[in-house]
């Protein structure tokens, strides 16, 4: 057995035709857990420093690599036996290569934050190193699945770690598996998925891909199978005081989303994207109660599910801090969104930048635990509102309903039949507002009293941001008008 296995190793290293599955079985029969091949040279001269085969998926990946080499060097393929199985009637796909499409996609992200572009380049580099520089039209579900399997083994800070930084993608993965590196956090896997999703969307818009290779593959959040993909815990009282402490105004004073985003998150338990996508039109009075509407109205607006559509009353501390005065300033400038500095050019939601900026900020305030971020406001609001209701003797089922009306948990009432309601003043409002339960929401919200003092909004504080957004909106409107005229 030892001689046969040695001969198989040598044949593989020279790029000769070998049944890799049988070679792996032979290695296991010889008492080895895996099959590690070093210094492999394919017939066309391609050199693979090291390949580690543990599973049949690893075998298939290496066979695909040999198949890709065969496409580029048919003569070598004929000699080695790794000729791709293409029907005679079929044609080998042509067109732009994956590497060129990645370069163009990254260039199209030029207006995004440099960190976003760097992270996208990182994910797509892994994809390219994994599947090879194939015609982009051949990108399929197998490639996507292989990519997602690979990033589950990608070591943290591989480009900086001396063990990995000079290795190829294949070599990094092989060494990471051998070293038993810890799997990335679920949030990291979701980011890889999102970056690939944006790239695939770009390819389809350019008509370089006919089908969506990600369709039918479970995303990391789907694999977790839970309602709330976000992890973490509530802020402690001390952490919350640090968040709204002396450093808050230094961090938040120049950007309205930094100032009002955390305040709204704390006093509503709303998700980061629900806060970040708010428009001036979403802030309204219903039956004399000021609040904001979580809605899909507005270009790029998203909600988690139908239960998320709701009207959230504004807590008194938020009103006292001057939120409605700020909204009036936004309207006065003719700006649509409350937080115009937040982009959504990737199509993944307005909350991404707010979430990242806030996570960076709280780390500087001493909140360094992994998983802590904007969603900790939601945990805090639900936890402490629940405790306040419990103190009144309210049963748990009733507490869930009372809190869910504010946070968007649970099912909307089946009795809602009309598309709009009319409030006491005769104003038509969306059905999601549910005016009949509004007094209960106001009463519940009044019981939430976190141990922080909010800063007050200074009139004109964000005037420069709003004027810049208004100018940009006018420019876009002029261009749209010119394009319509020329068409």
Residue 32 confidence (pLDDT): 56
pLDDT, greater one: 80 or 117 = 117
Residue 182 confidence class, pLDDT cut points 50, 70, 90? confident
Q: Are 50 and 137 in a shared domain?
A: no
Mean pLDDT score, 174-198? 87
Beta-carbon count within 10 A of 65 CB = 20
Lowest mean pLDDT among 109-123, 250-264, 420-434, 440-454: 420-434
Residue 479 lies in a domain: no
Residue 84 lies in a domain: no
Q: Are 181 and 269 in a shared domain?
A: no
Residue 73 confidence (pLDDT): 44
Asked if 44 and 72 count as a contact pair (C-beta separation under 8 A), the reply is yes
pLDDT, greater one: 399 or 477 = 399
Task: Give the residue among 363, 343, 345 at the shortest CA–CA distance from 354.
Answer: 343
Asked whether residue 423 carries a pLDDT value surpassing 60, the answer given is no
Q: Are 26 and 103 in a shared domain?
A: no
Residue 408 confidence class, pLDDT cut points 50, 70, 90? confident
Residue 192 confidence class, pLDDT cut points 50, 70, 90? very high
Q: Are 106 and 55 in a shared domain?
A: no
Residue 414 confidence (pLDDT): 41
Residue 89 confidence (pLDDT): 41
Mean pLDDT score, 51-66? 55
Residue 481 lies in a domain: no
pTM above the 0.75 mark?
Answer: no
Distance CA 315, CA 439 (A): 13
Residue 122 lies in a domain: yes
Percentage of residues in the chain with pLDDT exceeding 90?
44
Termini Cα distance of the chain:
75
How many structural domains comprise the chain? 3
Mean pLDDT score, 343-356? 82
Residue 40 confidence (pLDDT): 57
Asked if 420 and 431 count as a contact pair (C-beta separation under 8 A), the reply is yes
Residue 341 lies in a domain: yes
Q: Are 299 and 373 in a shared domain?
A: yes
Q: Are 111 and 246 in a shared domain?
A: no
Mean pLDDT score, 260-267? 98
Task: Give the residue among 305, 307, 309 at the shortest CA–CA distance from 292.
Answer: 309
Lowest mean pLDDT among 12-16, 231-235, 401-405, 436-440: 12-16
Asked whether residue 103 carries a pLDDT value surpassing 70, the answer given is yes
Strands, DSSP E only, in 235-386? 283-286, 289-294, 310-313
Asked if 378 and 269 count as a contact pair (C-beta separation under 8 A), the reply is yes
Residue 17 confidence class, pLDDT cut points 50, 70, 90? very low
Last residue of a domain, one of 50, 70, 90: 70
Instruction: State how far the alpha carbon of 21 is from the alpha carbons of 3, 149, 380, in Å.
Output: 17, 20, 53
The rounded mean pLDDT for the chain is 79
Q: Are 193 and 259 in a shared domain?
A: no
Residue 461 confidence (pLDDT): 93
Q: Are 36 and 133 in a shared domain?
A: no
Residue 372 confidence class, pLDDT cut points 50, 70, 90? very high
Residue 46 lies in a domain: yes
Residue 322 confidence (pLDDT): 97
Lowest mean pLDDT among 48-52, 126-130, 382-386, 389-393: 48-52
Last residue of a domain, one of 184, 206, 228: 206
Distance CA 454, CA 321 (A): 7
pLDDT in tens, 149-175: 888 889 888 888 888 888 899 999 988
Q: Are 171 and 279 in a shared domain?
A: no
Asked if 403 and 409 count as a contact pair (C-beta separation under 8 A), the reply is yes
pLDDT in tens, 313-338: 999 999 999 999 999 999 999 999 99
Strands, DSSP E only, in 228-377? 283-286, 289-294, 310-313
Distance CA 88, CA 86 (A): 6
Q: Are 112 and 243 in a shared domain?
A: no
29 burial level (CB within 10 Å; 0-12, 13-18, 19+): exposed
Instruction: State how far the alpha carbon of 14 is from the alpha carbons of 9, 17, 43, 50, 79, in Å.
Output: 9, 9, 7, 13, 11
Asked whether residue 78 carries a pLDDT value surpassing 50, the answer given is no
Question: Domain range holding 25?
Answer: 2-70
Q: Are 260 and 147 in a shared domain?
A: no
Distance CA 344, CA 161 (A): 33
Residue 163 lies in a domain: yes
3-state class (DSSP) for residue 374:
coil
Last residue of a domain, one of 70, 87, 119: 70
Residue 301 confidence class, pLDDT cut points 50, 70, 90? confident
Residue 83 lies in a domain: no
Q: Are 243 and 159 in a shared domain?
A: no
Asked whether residue 113 carries a pLDDT value surpassing 70, the answer given is yes
Mean pLDDT score, 441-468? 94
């Amino acid at each position: 057995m030892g001689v046969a296995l040695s001969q198989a190793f040598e044949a593989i290293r020279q790029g000769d035709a070998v049944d890799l599955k049988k070679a792996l079985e032979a290695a296991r029969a010889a008492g080895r857990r895996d099959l590690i091949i070093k210094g492999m040279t394919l017939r066309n001269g391609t050199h693979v420093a090291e390949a580690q085969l543990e599973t049949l998926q690893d075998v298939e990946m290496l066979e695909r690599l040999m198949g890709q080499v065969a496409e580029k060097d048919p003569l070598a393929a004929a000699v080695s036996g790794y000729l791709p199985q293409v029907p005679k009637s079929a044609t080998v796909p042509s067109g732009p290569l994956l590497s060129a499409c990645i370069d163009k996609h990254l260039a199209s992200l030029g207006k995004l934050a440099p960190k976003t572009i760097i992270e996208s380049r990182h994910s797509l580099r892994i994809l390219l190193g994994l599947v090879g520089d194939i015609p982009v039209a051949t990108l399929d579900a197998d490639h996507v699945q292989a990519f997602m399997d690979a990033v589950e083994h990608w070591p943290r800070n591989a480009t900086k770690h001396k063990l990995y930084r000079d290795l190829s993608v294949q070599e990094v993965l092989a060494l990471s598996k051998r070293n038993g590196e810890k799997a990335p956090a679920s949030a990291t896997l979701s980011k890889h998925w999102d970056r690939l999703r944006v790239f695939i969307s770009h390819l389809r818009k350019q008509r370089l891909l006919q089908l969506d290779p990600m369709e039918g593959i479970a995303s990391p959040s789907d694999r977790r199978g839970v309602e709330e993909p976000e992890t973490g815990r509530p802020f402690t009282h001390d952490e919350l005081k640090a968040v709204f402490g002396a450093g808050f105004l230094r961090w938040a004073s120049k950007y309205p989303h930094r100032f009002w985003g955390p305040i709204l998150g704390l006093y509503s338990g709303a998700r980061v994207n629900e806060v970040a996508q708010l428009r001036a039109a979403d802030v309204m009075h219903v039956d004399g109660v000021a609040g904001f509407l979580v809605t899909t109205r507005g270009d790029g607006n998203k909600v988690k599910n139908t239960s998320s559509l709701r009207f959230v009353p504004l807590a008194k501390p938020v009103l006292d801090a001057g939120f409605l005065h700020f909204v009036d300033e936004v309207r006065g400038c003719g700006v649509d969104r409350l937080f115009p500095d937040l982009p959504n050019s990737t199509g993944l939601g307005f909350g991404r930048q707010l979430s990242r900026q806030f996570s960076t900020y709280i780390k500087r305030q001493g909140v360094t635990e992994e998983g802590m971020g904007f969603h900790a406001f939601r945990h805090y609001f639900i936890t402490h509102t629940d405790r306040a209701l419990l103190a009144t003797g309210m049963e748990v089922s009733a507490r869930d309903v009372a809190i869910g009306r504010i946070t968007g948990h649970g099912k909307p009432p089946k009795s809602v039949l009309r598309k709009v309601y009319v409030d006491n003043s005769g104003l038509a409002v969306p059905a999601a507002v549910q005016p009949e339960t509004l007094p209960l929401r106001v009463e519940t919200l009044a019981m939430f009293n976190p141990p922080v003092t909010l800063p007050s909004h200074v009139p004109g504080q964000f005037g420069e941001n709003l004027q810049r957004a208004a100018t940009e909106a006018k420019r876009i409107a002029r261009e749209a008008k010119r394009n319509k005229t020329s068409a």
